Chain A
Amino acid sequence: MEDKKKVKQTEILKKVFRRLGKYRIFLVFSILLASLSVALTLYVPKLIGHAVDYIIGAGAVNFAGVYKVMISIGVCTLVTAFAQWIMNICNNKMTYQIVRDIRNEAFQKIEILPLKYIDTHPHGELVSRVIADVDQFADGLLMGFTQLFTGAATILGTFCFMLSVNVKITFVVVLITPVSFFVANFIAKHTFAMFKLQSETRGEQTGLIDEMIGNQKVVQTFGRKEEVTERFDEINKRLQKYSLRATFFSSITNPATRFVNSLVYTGVGITGAFSVLGGGLSVGQLTSFLSYANQYTKPFNEISGVVTELQNAVACAQRIFELIEEEPEIPDGESAVCLKNIKGKVQAEHVYFSYLPEQKLIEDFNLEVVPGQKIAVVGPTGCGKTTLINLLMRFYDIDSGSIRVEGLDIRQVTRQSLRAGYGMVLQDTWLKTGTIRENIMLGKPDATEEEVIAAAKASHIHSFIRRLPKGYETWITEDGSGLSQGQKQLLCIARVMLLRPPMLILDEATSSIDTRTEMKIQEAFAKLMEGRTTFIVAHRLSTIREADVILVMKDGKIVEQGRHESLLKQNGFYKHLYESQFVKNESAGN
């Protein structure tokens, strides 16, 4: 188990290094410069020690020596500072460009992911992979890596310098330092449990906040604020308790390691001073030692933090690579042709499809659509009417059989030309962040002002847009804030109206657009539908009656198929549906 995890981690690291390859030169520079600056930084205390030894007492100062040391320190400092600066620049370049590359890679994958993947994964989570995880990964891995490297170099370097000065005292330092490492580790382990409790309770509280503030109006309507706050306070008290513990225990780490450091310092002080008396050490060397003792312990404290950071980074990297390595949708074949001159002939032959292998949905579905026909899809809500849209637009591929447009199997034509053949208006309106104009022009970025206005007029949204203070330049956000559901749908219609594609897929409005607007849309649609093959998810009786073919769906399956009259005669599910949805119940009348 443990081994498997290790293998996985090395694999991830390999992938990281592959992406690092392009910036190898920066990495090499960075490591060289880091080594240089560490070495020089460590050399300075030794120089200071020399200087101290030149300053023995009144009238006994070797000024020539002091000057020499001063110049040496000055040179070291300038070189170190310069090396550090260049190193920072290299690291920045490397980090940010890798982040950019990985993000680009991830986004490009998103564009070719099968919709199945997008439909089955929470969007927020995918977004956080591309944004937060990549950031965490970059911070954690590259910063962690440099810290680890400079830390290790510092420890090693200090160790060598100390050895070069005095072996016995070095031994004392090496013996005591790990204690601080263990202390920090010990505390971290115990804090972890408390952090977990804290974050669990925090999660519970966020859930309640989400519910009660998201539905504050309901809370208010029923005058429940006291009860709700009582529940909140109960969790809040627990959270306070747990966060006190987590915060307190985690904050012990620093003082505790500082105490261990002071032990090291004292140890060096005693052994050092005695060595001086024994004649094995000069006062200047003792000074150098004291500052080495300080420097030597610092990386240990840092490294214990770096390890968790690195682990976190690897976990983040894993999530990103999972996305990047996800199987893309099958690309268009090389022989894929471009659908041209679409008249609207659509055939389905023995189509089988299911989202999950063990749950059969569409079985042996056959359909023959002559250009200009209207196909109504009816069924209770949640019956899977969108499945059909998914298949026609090739958002999902069918399992077997074929769907043909103009006699060509849609898997043998380019997706782009197939999709360009359809105009789609879904009930689930989606708008892009941008101006209203940009949204209408989505399918045709080079549309003229006249065309945009004509499309808006035909969709009965022009007068509304004109009345907005900024008109067509009004900025709308993703959730279309400020627009009613009906207005959003009208905008989506205008989007298609501008294109006038040969085939249409419409999702008829249910309750969101009011009757009067809907009638106007119906008129506009009628005009648009003239001579065009239309698949329409229908809720309105008139649409259904006029349809050339009605597909009746239930539980994701097509259960009946035919015209209105003949379906009624069948006395099956359609009849039942018709009666419950469209014929007024006797008791309702008076």
Chain B
Amino acid sequence: MKSLLIYLKDYKKETVLAPLFKLLEASFELIVPLVMAAVIDVGIENRDRPYILKMCLILIALGGIGLICSITAQYFAAKAATGFAAKLRHELFWHIQKFTFTQMDTIGSATLITRMTSDINQVQAGVNLVLRLFLRSPFIVFGAMVMAFVVDVKAAFVFVVVIPLLSIVVFGIMLITMPLYKKVQANLDRVLLVTRENLTGARVLRAFNKEESEKKRFLSGNQILTDAQKYVGRIAGLMNPLTYIIVNAGTILLLYTGAVRVDKGILTQGEVVALVNYMSQILVELVKLANLIITVTKAIACGNRIEKILEEKPDRKDGKWKWEENEETPFIEFKHVSLVYDGNGAESLEDITFTAKKGDIIGIIGGTGSGKSSLVNLIPRFYDATKGEVRINGKDVKEYETESLRARIGVVPQKAALFKGTIAENIRWGKADATEEEIAEALETAQAAEFVEKKEGKLSYNIEQNGRNLSGGQRQRLTIARALVRKPEILILDDSASALDFATDAALRKALRARKEKMTVFIVSQRAASVQDADQIIVLDDGEIVGKGTHKELLLNCPAYQEIYYSQFPKEAENGR
């Protein structure tokens, strides 16, 4: 949490002024009982009506000044807290955008979204409260004690006993209950899980006739939760009665010492009243403080979680090389490349070696988990090879400036992700300043022109979040167009035609071949039909290359390829050609 505090530094003034004004307000509040004591001891004793009026005007003035101080404090606190949160949100967002694929894999986007939203909100609320109350409450507690000493030292010793006792009760109960509340939360999470499972898995659970056993599971989980809640409730329920006993015991003691001291002429009647008032002020503030501590502990936990994300440094070092063609070396070259994903023991890619010429179409085929995507992900440096080298234009990709490298590559990811906005805006992700003609050309090649034409507003058709209002095939074609619009040197299609029917898939490949630019294309697929007209097909199995060559060559000498091919095109179909 500590390192987050630097985001408060633009609000130094507010951060200092807010508690300061709060203290001022508190000090005025502490004077009130003394003024009242004066009303009793001087005003009433001497039957001095103007004096009483004067004192009461002072009371109103104290209240008024207190109000102003406090509103000023609230403003500064709110300003600092919201400013802090905005800054933190920005930093965190920017920081997350810099994460590498590996980091995104290990942390997970769901967690990051929670950090960005509810966690930051909690921290904001925490900062706001701390600035307002964290100094005020202890100040009033101790202030009341100090005032008591001002009134009478001996009577004040009652406070010296009562305050620690109260603190022990309030904070002791908090310390005991906090871990118990965590347990309650864990139990609630289990109840939540069962509920969710019975909704998402309703079909399966009913198909397997699990209703009765699921009910039992829920009932027992729910009972455990209830028992845990009741248990905590019983302990937390002690707080009010115990504090009440302590404060009233203090009051009784005060009355006794007061009586003795007044009898001896050391104290006045009004001063006893003031002492009793201070006692009740303490109780109110301690309860506030306890609530505050709960909020603050929550906020600190959230803050720590955010801090952890910020501590996570992007684990990629950029090179300095800019893109430069080099005709002497192979355009793309994999040299004994292996890849182990973080947290995985086994190699996902093992000893991959091949070269690709400029303008080649490379097909990559293999089963799920055979490493097809891993292989192409190494080209734009989404992941770094753990062994070996991936070279482009004769230079290791790690020596390139990542941005300049990626600018030359068009990637169509497996998951067709589009963003809220128009079709044109989405295509311009590929090239921010693309003209209408360029967009039209890309859509044409991606076989998307026809359906875009039919949409209301065409290029300005609004896509909803995640492209909900488009079909899977349409989304996929738009993502292809998005990659094409930048006229990349290298195009990577990572199983991106899976939602297209064979005819469209074929037309797409034909259009890609027909493009003027010399573009090297990687087609990752599980369909033999998608790769069979490639210049080179790489057959992967369990992270290793088991076949390399053209369709004809592989059909003759690669059993793995034959197996895939004939499973999709049974021999009689082949004969029919």
Q: Does B273 contact A (CB under 8 A)?
A: yes
| Interface contact A255-B66, CB-CB below 8 Å | yes
10 A-B interface contacts by CB (under 8 A): A58-B262, A92-B233, A107-B195, A110-B199, A215-B417, A236-B90, A252-B74, A419-B208, A433-B193, A580-B503
CB atoms of B97 and A82 under 8 A apart: no
Question: Is B435 close to A, CB under 8 A?
Answer: no
Number of contacting residues on B, CB 8 A? 162
Check A256 against B67 for contact (C-beta < 8 Å): yes
Give the CA-CA distance A70 to B111 in the complex, in Å: 58
Chain A window 576-590, contacts with chain B (Cβ cutoff 8 Å), 1 for yes, 0 for no: 000011111101111
Asked if residues A52 and B113 are in contact (CB atoms below 8 Å), the reply is: no
A407 within 8 A of B: no
A73 touches B251 (CB 8 A): yes
Q: A55-B262, A115-B203, A432-B197 are in contact. List 12 more A-B contacts (CB 8 A).
A: A66-B255, A88-B241, A126-B195, A127-B195, A130-B192, A227-B432, A259-B67, A269-B55, A443-B209, A515-B568, A583-B573, A588-B509
Encode B134-163 as 1/0 by CB contact (under 8 A) with A: 000000000000000000000000000000
State the Cβ distance, B33 to closest chain A Cβ, in Å.
9
* Nearest-Cβ distance from residue A584 to partner chain B, whole angstroms: 6
| Cβ-defined contact, A514 with B70, below 8 A | no
Query: Does B269 lie within 8 Å of A89, measured CB to CB?
Result: no
Residue among B101, B197, B432 making CB contact with A217, cutoff 8 Å: B101
Please provide the 6 A-B residue pairs with the shortest distance between their CB atoms, ordered closest to farther: A514-B367, A58-B265, A88-B237, A262-B63, A92-B233, A81-B241
Q: Which of B101-130 contact A (CB under 8 A)?
A: 101, 104, 109, 112-113, 116-117, 121, 124, 128
Name the B residues within 8 Å of A88 (CB-CB): 233-234, 236-238, 240-241
Contact with B along A209-247 (1 / 0, CB 8 A): 111111111111111110111001100110110011001
> 0/1 per residue, A67-78, Cβ < 8 Å to B?
001100110111
CB pair A513–B368 under 8 Å, yes or no, is yes
Asked if residues B498 and A511 are in contact (CB atoms below 8 Å), the reply is: yes
Known: A248-B75, A251-B74, A484-B368. A588 touches B39 (CB 8 A): no
Contact, CB under 8 Å: A131 / B188:
yes
A96 & B86 in contact (Cβ 8 Å cutoff): no
Do A233 and B199 have beta carbons less than 8 Å apart?
A: no
On chain A, the residues within 8 Å of B64 by CB distance are 259
Interface residue? A445 (CB, 8 A):
yes
Q: Which residues of A contact B569 (CB under 8 A)?
A: 584
The number of residues on chain A lying at the interface, defined by a beta carbon within 8 Å of a beta carbon of chain B, is 151
| Closest beta carbon of chain B to A414's beta carbon, Å | 10
Stretch at the interface among A273-281, A306-314, A366-374, A527-535: A273-281
Chain B residue numbers with a CB within 8 Å of A585 are: 502-503, 506-507
Q: Is the CB of B273 within 8 A of A265?
A: no
Chain A neighbourhood of B6, CB < 8 A: none
8 Å CB interface, B237-280 against A:
237-238, 240-242, 244-245, 248-249, 251-252, 255-256, 258-260, 262-265, 268-270, 272-273, 276-277, 280
Query: Could you tell me the distance in whole angstroms from the C-beta of B369 to the nearest C-beta in chain A?
Result: 5
A285 to chain B, nearest CB (A): 11
User: A162-170, A450-458, A516-524, A560-568: which one contacts chain B?
Assistant: A516-524
Cβ-neighbour of B245 out of A78, A255, A484, A589 (below 8 A):
A78
Q: Is the CB of A517 within 8 A of B74?
A: no
Closest to B132 in A: A251
Given A213-B109, A430-B204, A584-B529, A221 and B56 contact (CB-CB distance below 8 Å): no
B429 touches A222 (CB 8 A): yes
Which of A214, A276, A511 interacts with B44 by CB under 8 Å?
Answer: A276
- The contact of A244 among B82, B202, B210, B564, by CB within 8 Å, is B82
B435 to chain A, nearest CB (A): 18
**Is the Cβ of A111 less than 8 Å from the Cβ of B215?**
yes
Contact with A along B541-577 (1 / 0, CB 8 A): 0000000000000000000100110011110010001
Interface residues of B in 185-233 (CB under 8 A from A): 188, 191-204, 206-211, 213-215, 218-219, 222-223, 225-226, 229-230, 233
Q: Which of A86-117 contact B (CB under 8 A)?
A: 88-89, 92-93, 96-97, 99-100, 103-104, 107-108, 110-112, 115
